[in-house]
Structure formats: C-alpha cells, structure tokens
Structure 1
Amino acid sequence: MAARPRIKDVAAYAGVSPKTVSNVINDFEHVSEHTRTAVRDAIEALGYRVNIAGRQLRQGRTGMITLAVPELDVAYFSELAKHVMAAADRRGRTVLLHQTGGVRERELSALHGFDAQFTDGVILSPLSLTPRDLTSGLARLPVVLLGERQTPGAADHVGIDNVAAAREATEHLLARGRRRIAVVGGAVRGRRGTDGLRTEGYRSALRAAHVAFAADLVVPVEAYHWQDGARAAAALLERRPRPDALLCLNDHLALGALRALHEAGLRAPDDIDVVGFDDIEASRFSVPSLTTIAPDKEAIAAAAVSLLADRIDRPRTGTARDVTDAGTARDAEAAQDAEDRVIGHRLVVRESTGGRS
C-alpha cells in the first residue's frame, strides 16, 4: 500500500517550499496565481488530502462551532440549522446545537458554559441577553449574531431588513384593497426586537397609503407557536368590524390563524387575507397555501458561517495583533470592524392572498 502523500511531497512536485503549500491550503492572499495553480495541480495529481483533525489540534482548535437558537421545534430555526450545518461541513467544521429557549442563563451558557470549552466560536440568535452580556462574551469566543442587533459594533451580525420586509407584505395587502389589517404577534411601543421592527414596517406602509393606524389591531402573543396564532386570530374574528387581513409575524402564527378561520367558518382569501413570515416548508402545503415573506435562509447560514470562520482563522493570517491577551484583542477588534450583513428576502404570494399554490 502506497504511503499517503505529505505536504513535502506536494512541495517537491510543484517546485515550491512546504510553507508555500501550506499558504495555498489555507488560502492566504499573498500567493501568486501561477504558484497557487501549480500547488493545486500537484495536490490533485498526488491525491493529497489535508489532515483536518491534526491541523486543528496543532492550532489549539476543536473544529467545532456552536449554533445557539431559541427553539428547534420552530421550523424556521430547524431549517436554518440544516443550512448552517451544510455550510460548516463545506469548511470542515462540525456544528454543536444549543437550544436556549430564549432564556438568558442558557444563552449565557452558550458563550461561557461547559459546552463552550469544546467550540471555536458561536453563532447565536439571542432573545434575552443584554448588550453587556454580548460584549463580555466576545472576550471568550468569536461570536456572530442572528436576528436583531442588540448593541452596535459588538459582534458580526447577519439578518434581513425586517422593516422593509413587513412594509412589503403590508403593501401587498393594501394593494388588494385591505384596510383593517391586524398584526398577529405585533409589538408594544418602544420594542426594537424583530416584532418591533416588523410592526414599524407595517405602520410605515399604512402611513404611505394614508390609512389610519389602529393600536387595537396590533396583538402581542405569548409565544410564536401555532396555538398562539390560533388564539389571537380567534379573538380578532370576534371584533366588529373584524379585520380584513392578518399580518402574522411568523408562519407558525399564520398557520394557527388559518385553523381559527376554518373553525369560524371563514376562508382565506375569500373572507380575510393571511400573510406569514419565514417561508417554512409547511407554508407551501397548507390549505390554502400561505403567502409569506421568504428570507434567504441558505444565504443567512452561509454568511454567518463565513464570518465566524474568518474570526476564528484570523489569528493565523498574520493580520491580527500578536498579543498575549487574545480575548481582549478579539474584543477590541470586533468593536472596530464588526460587520453587518443584510441578506435578501422576497414576498412569496400564494393562495391565502389570492395567488396560486
């Protein structure tokens, strides 16, 4: 059985040094395209494979990253987790899933707890952490935030423009002649979470259309589950005059609302329009199929993994400062150049607002 080719074999074949081969493997910038091509041709010719586990151990890394989300039984997060795992796998990394329930102590545990000892970085969708919590977490591990940014410049952040998305959904309903549009899962005044931003987008569309805002049509919910949508919709249907459209701030709420309509002897879109958020798989198979805002979940996952990998790998590139207190350096670096990636979304019009399945 032939011996497994090593870096020095690739270097000899390509006529370069082992260090140059390593630079190409790690995708360092300062390598000429001619040399990069020669090394890659040598790798392919010899069948060289990177020993990822050995490399990670030598660098003091585990090759694992954590994805911490509130609830995996909320389909948006489970579908997002699938894409994060695929993106991480392409980079030779394994994902440790951490379900926080939106509880502050569990979110902190993702950053500082026992499991954090086995991970190189965290992709976190926080609901309860304070800005100070998030800032302190950066001294321990690289962090990428999902959802709404809680504190400017503390960490890289990936999300959609929720104000614009909700405005687009509301404009769609207004264009269909709807004027009493209720918001299921809407925010009380002053909140800046996802619910607050989506409610802001809704109000912006009403103002532009010169439609009066009615505070009683914004209905908060205890959680974003099927039953919460059904309860909120049932209560709204008892009002006179009742709403002529429901803007539900996630698809679970919207699918619960469709059930409440069915039990009340009403249909969407004949009696009332229903729009959701997230474009989970179930929204395509409900009866009627659900009009919804579709964030590009695959792009969100890819951006989050890419940003986190860059933070993890940066000390190896020579661009980070060579200091003893790596945690303090990382914290300062993040504050200086944290990135905001705004990922695209689209409105998918289906049967619940007069479209096709």
Structure 2
Amino acid sequence: MAATLRDVADLAGVSFKTVSNVVNGYPHIRPATREKVERAIDELGYKPNLSARSLRSGRTGAIALAVPELNLSYFAELAGFVIAAAERADLVTLVEQTGGDRARELALLQSPRLRMTDGLILDPLGMRPEDAAALDVPFPLVVLGERTSDWPSDHVTMRNVDATRAGTEYLIASGRRRIAVIGEHEDEVIGSARLRLRGYREALEAHGIDYDERIVARAALWHRADGARAMRELLDRGAEFDAVFGFNDTLALGAMRVLQEAGLRVPEDVAVLGFDDLDEAAYSIPSLTTVDPGREWIARTAVETLLERIGRGGAELPPRTKLADFRIVERESAPRA
C-alpha cells in the first residue's frame, strides 16, 4: 500500500500536522525537523495525492516563473534554483520566457494561464516605473530584478550598487587603475546596467580615480558575443586599460577570449572580473574571478516569499523587499595582489 502522511509522521517521530506543514511548504519549520520529515518521506517513498489536495485547498500545486530568456546562463541557472526550491515544497514550476519585452510581460500578468498556478515569480526587463499599477494583481506575486522599490509587490533582489563597488575596489586593491567596464546600457534610468555603473563610479571616486568614458563599453545585450564585440571596439579605439569588469560573466568571458586572441595575457596584462558566478566561470581558461550576487539565495527566498503569500490566502500583508548578500569569488583571471 502507498505510504500516508500518518506513516511519515510515525517514522519521523513528529505530529501529523508537522508533516502536513512540511509537505505544503510552510516556511516556519525548524531545519532539523524539516530534515527528519524529508528523510522519512524519501525512505517511505511517500507521494502526495495532488488531486485531492487541490480539491481540499483550492490550490493547484504549481507556481509560475517568468524570465526574459533561458539561453542566457544567468536566467537558466536561476530557473534551476527556483525549480529545485519549489520541488522541496512539493510544487511544480511552469516556466515562461518573455524575451524581456514589455508588452509580453504586461500581457502575462493578465494571462488566463496563471489560473493553473498558485502564484507567479516574475523577473521583468521591459516594464517601466509607470507600469506599477499592473503589478497590483489578485494573486501572489514576487518580483525579481532591479526595479522601483514602491511597486505593490514583494521584491527579492541583489545589491547591484554595493556588489559592483566591491568588485571594482577588489581590482583597485590588486593594483589596477585603468579599469574598463563592459555592459553599459545607453539612456537606461532603472536597471542592473545603470546600478552597476553607479557602483563602479562610486568606487573610482572613493579612490581618487577619474571616470573615463573612453573605457566604458556599451552592450545592448549581455551575451558572450556582445562582450567580444565590445572588447574589439575598446581595442580598436586604442583604449588603455589594465583590467576589465564585465557587468555579467558572459560579457566577461566573451571579452577575455578577444583579449587572448589579441595576444594580451590574462591576468598579467589585463585582469578580468565578471558578475554572477555562473557555473561555467570556474571552468574557463583562466578561470574567471567574479562577484557572486547571491543568486541561489534569491531563488530560494523568492519561492519562500511566494509560499508565505499563498499560505495567507489573500490576507493583507505589506509589500516587502529582501536583499541578497554578495561575495567576491577569487579565481585565476584576477588574483589578489
């Protein structure tokens, strides 16, 4: 016979209610207790009756995740972390790809497909500050990415300014003074590119280094090809620099390939720093020093925050902003002095 919640409770030595809370993703469970219950679930091979649970609770057992593009490694890895966190709460994740298009992001918020889910985690790129009213939706919603703090939804994000300032200061401390950056977005007012440029400029100013537009390279998209193209432009214009800070790892990896093709040694001639700590950063040659902005924490916290909203059944709760910690991951492309 199939294992039941009562069987799991007996094996774990906890109450039936505690097992139910773990299975339904209730966040306020002691880690040791959660681990005992999950171990018992695995040992017994317990599978919840999703149809019965849905009928009892009015929930679907699924959440939605909408990201700009899955062929960009950052969002692919983020999606993987969200799916894993949701699975631990016994939830299925339906993934949408918006292309970073404002109209598609706004349409998604009104899509009847969301009726098949209990809530949405949205990482918007195209939406603007004036779109705030569109986020006032009748279902649980968590927004990722850098947007205005007064939007009417929970917001889980990274410390873009502080993390980029720390990365720039890391390069300065290693003896670099001419630090090129790749990834600026022309005319951007709110977004990761603008915030990371601000952190970069704050670090330069704090150390008495002049900001030089000649070593700031634009990249409308943040793929490897864009990093490579921006680096070729810097080299073609004769810009002098002893370090490069890519505003994400894929830009940095593209730039590093072009530097090596040009006969420049990394890190002896030019240090290279990325941002995101993608899995592939550890396996490039040389391996990429990078800023880890807390992506796994962001994914896990987004799911937990959404579950809190779902568990309250629509009860009022003020919008919250949760910020991830960051760290510098030192590897071969930019070692400490």
Say yes or no: TM over 0.5: yes
The TM-score normalised by the length of structure 1 is 0.80
Which of 113, 123, 139 in structure 1 is aligned with 2:137? 139
1: CA distance, partners of 2:111 / 2:221: 26
2: CA distance, partners of 1:114 / 1:49: 29
1:330 — aligned with what?
none
Deviation at 1:136, TM superposition (A): 2.5
2: CA distance, partners of 1:162 / 1:230: 23
Which of 294, 299, 302 in structure 2 is aligned with 1:301? 299
1: CA distance, partners of 2:133 / 2:265: 48
Q: How many residues align?
A: 317
Change (3 A) 1:3 1:26: closer
CA contact (8 A) 1:250 1:276 kept: yes
CA contact (8 A) 2:273 2:289 kept: yes
Deviation at 1:108, TM superposition (A): 2.1
1:185 — aligned with what?
183
2: CA distance, partners of 1:198 / 1:299: 20
How far does the alpha carbon of each residue in 1:171-222 deviate from its partner, in whole angstroms, 9 at most, with x for none?
A: 0111122222111002446622101111111001001100011123222212
Paired amino acid for 1:147: G
How far does the alpha carbon of each residue in 1:136-164 deviate from its partner, in whole angstroms, 9 at most, with x for none?
A: 23323211111113341411111111111
2:68 — aligned with what?
70
Q: Share of identical aligned residues, percent? A: 44
Paired amino acid for 2:146: E
1: CA distance, partners of 2:242 / 2:122: 37
2: CA distance, partners of 1:6 / 1:355: 53
1: CA distance, partners of 2:59 / 2:185: 42
Query: Which stretch shifts more, 51-60 or 259-268?
Result: 51-60
> Secondary structure at 1:92's aligned position in 2?
coil
> Secondary structure at 1:67's aligned position in 2?
strand
Which of 216, 219, 225 in structure 2 is aligned with 1:218? 216
Deviation at 1:349, TM superposition (A): 1.4
Change (3 A) 1:241 1:99: closer
Unaligned runs of 5+ in 2: 10-14
How far does the alpha carbon of each residue in 1:7-58 deviate from its partner, in whole angstroms, 9 at most, with x for none?
A: 7x999xxxxxxxx9558734799xxx9xx9xxx9xx99xx887534312233
Change (3 A) 1:353 1:123: same
Unaligned runs of 5+ in 1: 12-19, 321-332
> Secondary structure at 1:352's aligned position in 2?
coil
Change (3 A) 1:132 1:263: same
CA contact (8 A) 1:236 1:243 kept: no
CA contact (8 A) 1:123 1:143 kept: yes
> Secondary structure at 2:237's aligned position in 1?
coil
1:196 — aligned with what?
194
How far does the alpha carbon of each residue in 1:239-287 deviate from its partner, in whole angstroms, 9 at most, with x for none?
A: 3352221111001100100111122111211111111111111111111
The TM-score normalised by the length of structure 2 is 0.85
Matches within 5 A, 1:196-275: 196-275=194-273
CA contact (8 A) 1:144 1:304 kept: yes
Deviation at 1:4, TM superposition (A): 7.0
2:78 — aligned with what?
80
1: CA distance, partners of 2:196 / 2:8: 54
1:14 — aligned with what?
none
1:326 — aligned with what?
none
1: CA distance, partners of 2:310 / 2:151: 18
2: CA distance, partners of 1:99 / 1:138: 21
Change (3 A) 1:52 1:272: same
1: CA distance, partners of 2:214 / 2:141: 39
Change (3 A) 1:96 1:270: same
Change (3 A) 1:313 1:212: same
> Secondary structure at 2:333's aligned position in 1?
helix
Paired amino acid for 2:324: I
How far does the alpha carbon of each residue in 1:80-127 deviate from its partner, in whole angstroms, 9 at most, with x for none?
A: 111111110111110001011101122123321242221111111101
Change (3 A) 1:96 1:240: same
CA contact (8 A) 1:131 1:151 kept: no
CA contact (8 A) 1:160 1:344 kept: yes
CA contact (8 A) 2:287 2:333 kept: yes
1: CA distance, partners of 2:78 / 2:157: 12
Which of 163, 166, 185 in structure 2 is aligned with 1:165? 163
CA contact (8 A) 1:246 1:275 kept: yes
> Secondary structure at 1:185's aligned position in 2?
strand
2: CA distance, partners of 1:306 / 1:239: 48
CA contact (8 A) 1:251 1:280 kept: yes
Superposition CA RMSD, Å:
3.0
